[in-house]
Amino acid sequence: TKDLKLHHATITMDPATHNPVDKDGVVLIAKGGKGQFFTKIKP
C-alpha cells in the first residue's frame, strides 16, 4: 500500500514487514465510552 489517505494521516506500508513506514501506532483504552491514550508503539 502506498500513500493511503486515512482520516488522520497518509500512510505507506513496507511490503517486506507490513508495517507502516515512519508512523507510530497508538493504543487507546475504552473507558466510560471514550478512548483514553495508553501508549505509543514505534514499529
| End-to-end Cα spacing for the chain | 16
Q: Which three cell numbers stand for residue 40?
A: 505509543
Q: What is the domain partition of the chain in residue ranges?
A: 1-42
The identity of residue 19, as a single letter, is N
Residue 24: the pLDDT is 82
pTM above 0.85, yes or no: no
Task: Report d(CA 1, CA 8) in Å as an integer.
Answer: 16
Each residue of 1-39: pLDDT tens digit?
899 888 777 889 999 988 888 878 889 999 999 999 999
Residue 30: the pLDDT is 95
Residue 43: the pLDDT is 67
